[in-house]
Amino acid sequence: MNADLSILHLITGASLIVQLVMAMLLVASLVSWMRIFQKAKMLREALREADKFEDRFWSGGDLSVLYNKIANHPQGRSGMEVIFEAGFREFSRLRKQGVASDAVLDGSQRAMRIALSREVDRLERSLPFLATVGSTSPYVGLFGTVWGIMNSFRSLGSVKQATIAMVAPGISEALVATAMGLFAAIPAVIAYNRYSSQVERIVNRYHNFSDEFSNILQRQAHK
């Protein structure tokens, strides 16, 4: 309890600039934690939906039936479902128009690439923010520390004899800013590295599915 009160005293006793730096770091930390939990939920759902769709896709059923089920339930679609729907919709449309087989396949692949790109953008959302917090928070905290230390040493100019007891409180207040910068940066960096790896694995699954589905469409287009 005493430690908490002393930290609170250091924060409230800091200069206005240092307090503003601490407030910025606190907001950045809270927002980054919110993004961390949101991203964890999103990636879990993406993996679960990918597993579920692959089971349905490779079950040997009619792709037209699968497409109709997905197209008739537009809410909540994501990942492989979106890629599959885009490719199969374009494939069916071009075949009905009597387009050449190679053109049908090219059109389907373009549609899948566009859908895949949108899914990648969705998965990578919030990652740049975490990277920014992780890379800049220590420097923002260091700025607050340097500013607080400058104020502490500037106050020594008005006294004849300086002691460590005179500058220790000011330096301690300033160092709190560095601690808060690290507190904001470390979780953001860990989350960014972890989630970037997970996003890369999910995107690789999307690419592999797109290639495998293209092979299926190619065989059907040349029948």
Q: Please, what is the average pLDDT of the chain? A: 85
What's the pLDDT score for residue 2?
Answer: 43
Q: What percent of the chain has pLDDT over 70?
A: 84
Give the model confidence (pLDDT) of 3-26 as tens digits.
444 666 666 666 778 788 888 999
DSSP labels, the chain: -HHHHHHHHHHHTS-HHHHHHHHHHHHHHHHHHHHHHHHHHHHHHHHHHHHHHHHHHTT---HHHHHHHHHT--TT--THHHHHHHHHHHHHHHHHTT--HHHHHHHHHHHHHHHHHHHHHHHTTTHHHHHHHHHHHHHHHHHHHHHHHHHHHHGGGG-SS--HHHHHHHHHHHHHHHHHHHHHHHHHHHHHHHHHHHHHHHHHHHHHHHHHHHHHHHHHHT-
Delimit the domains of the chain by residue range: 2-221
What's the pLDDT score for residue 103?
Answer: 87
pLDDT < 50 positions in the chain = 1-5
pTM above 0.85, yes or no: no
What's the pLDDT score for residue 150?
Answer: 79
What's the pLDDT score for residue 219?
Answer: 85
Give the model confidence (pLDDT) of 95-128 as tens digits.
888 778 888 889 999 999 999 999 999 999 999 9
